[in-house]
Structures are given as structure tokens and as C-alpha cells.
Structure 1
């Protein structure tokens, strides 16, 4: 018995099929609901726009990649593991390549607000890909690492769209080169942040010592008049 498809899944599939067969810009939510054979009201309950569909499509790809991770690979060097994870992502995207070409050609058909949400979704995906590859993504350094990975992926994604080789060797080579360059910058950023952190700690300690000195001075000034008054009374 075939697995039951939920309306959300059916709508995403229909949207990708329509994008592959025509201009994404011309596709409407009504078209997607009708192609999915889903009641328009039900489609509205799941998605308010094509941008919502695209974000959920990205999450679907995230789940496919993460679900296929082998814990035994966690001990591999981070660089190699990250290449494997990103190439697995391209493999998961392979059935949708015609649709993605249409969507990219239309700029995603996104407005300003949807573009900001799409960027947030994109960086969220890159954070998971980095985490899955053994890289830390917390703090300032982690956020910069995520931003860098997002830029690298965007460039390699466009190359992958046009890569007609069987094994996507050119895409993998470009990814390898970009990650190697990114690794050098990552080290420099890490060193810079460490130095800045140590400098801030020194400044904070000096500020704390100065504050303590000021408090002791205030305490001395507050007790001095009392001492003078006691001397006069005697």
C-alpha cells in the first residue's frame, strides 16, 4: 500500500512540478492547489504564499540530508565531512533541478519581506550542515562561520545547477577550493576574536580595579567628617 501523502507534501511536490514545466513567476497558489488536487482552503491552511512553500522545501532537504547521516563518520576531518554533507545535499536536490532553475531564473519571485525570511531559512540550513560536520556555530565566531558557509554554498549551488557531469566533479572541486580558502579565513577570524576577547578581559579587569579604588575612596571620604566631629567634641 503506497504511503499516504499529507497535503503539505503534495502541495510542495505540485509546486516543484509546475516550476519545472514553466516560469515560476507565472505559477499561482491556485495553480498549485489545483495541480495537487487539494482544496484551496486546505492549501491556505498550510501555505500563505509560494515563499512559504519554498521555505518548507528547504526544510525537507535539510531533513533528508540529516536523516542520512552516519554517526560513524563523525570522526572524519571536518573539511572532508563538510564536503560529504554538502554533496549529499546536492544529491537530495537532484530530482528538483529543473524546478530550481526556473525558481532561480525568477529570483524566487520573492518580495522584500519574503527575501529576509528566505535568508534566515538559508542561514538556518547552513548552521545545521556545519553542526552535522562537527563545526561549532555558537557565538560571534560561529555566526561568521555560518555566514561564510552560506556564501560558499550559494556560489557552488549555481555551478551545480549547470554542472552536467555524471559525478559533479567540477562542483565538488569548486566546493573543495572554496572551503580551503574559507578555512584560512576561519582561522584568522578565530585568532582575531581570541585576541579581542583577551584584550576585553584585560580592560574589564582594569575597570573593575578602578571601580574598587573609587569605592574605597568614597568610603574614606564618608568616614572622615565623623572622625573630625568626634575629635572636636573631645
Structure 2
């Protein structure tokens, strides 16, 4: 899912982009309305997050220009103003959702995914160039399908739903082994070990967080 984030506070925008990217979204951060319009002329996005308090062309004006140009892109307005009048103004201007600062990144992610689903965007879990096809349950790296066992697939699917965030060992055990609990205490570690070998060439790795569980993340070249 490709997200256009328009936020003039550089530190906040960079932080939000990193949080969303760790969760499998592709984010482009722009700091002004004119930059956002230019990006939309050359690239495709699935959803946009607009800060109302932009300098020059504010978020409501930017939204109006998008709608005047025929853009049907789902838009979530982000603002420090949480009054009813502000929300009504944003929705009347053509916004699809509204979130007041401060907010929880989990809620922002959930709202963006909901907007994308309503717009018919395929919400496929991704980490780097690795993706899960929900329709078939198959994992692909670029265009190549990975050969995984059912237990490996179940474990990787759980990790891919939360890229960059830990999933507990107990949850992974339940998903991988279901109603047939393993007799060996290190059974999950065995599945993780096999997965790591199959992911070596993908640029994605599974990291062990002692006391917390495991997470999957993209390994970027230095």
C-alpha cells in the first residue's frame, strides 16, 4: 500500500514515515501542498494523509484542489484541531477520515488500511520485496514463489502481519502447531531456523528478541 504523507513538521513526518514503513507500508513524505500535487502528477498512491496546518496552501485547500482535479484518492486529515466544526469542515471538503493529534500510530495504521480496503486496494502484508498473497496463502519474493511448509507459512504469515514488531513465542507456537502442541520445547526455534535459511536471498530476516519473541524486518544494504 502506497501512502502519500503531507506533513510540514520534518521530525514528525520522518518519524511517522518510518513507523508506517516498518509496518509494511510504502510512504513518500512531502512537506508542502505544492510538492504533494507534483508527486501526484507522476506517481500512484493508494491513500493520502494530509496535515491541515500546512504553510501556504493548507490541508483543506490542498484537499479541495485534489477533488477539483478529479482525484478520488482516499484522504485522511491529520490535525491538532479536534473540534466538531473542524471535523465537519474537513469532511465537507472531501476528506474520508479525520484524526486529531496526538494519536496512536496503531490507530493511524488501522484507519489507513480501512480506507484502502474500502477503495478496493489489495492489502497484502509486505516486508521489503517479500509479500503474502492472501488469496492463495503463498509467499512471493519479487515474482518467485517460496516453497514453505504449512508450519513455516503460518509462522511467517503471523510475523508479516506485524513487520518490525515482536510476536510472542507462545502465539507463534499456537499458530504453527494448532491443537497439536509440540513435544519439544524448542519446536518453534526449529521452524524459525528453517525459515531463516529460506529467506537468506530475500533481504528479509527474522530476529530473536529474548523475552519478547520474534520479528521480521527488511535488511537494508549499508
Bin for the TM-score computed over the shorter chain:
under 0.3
Q: Which has the higher contact order (CA 8 A, sep 6+)?
A: 1
User: How does the TM-score come out when normalised to structure 2?
Assistant: 0.28
Structure ID, larger Rg = 1
User: How does the TM-score come out when normalised to structure 1?
Assistant: 0.27
Would you tell me which structure has more strand in proportion to its own residues? 2
Would you tell me which structure has more helix in proportion to its own residues? 1
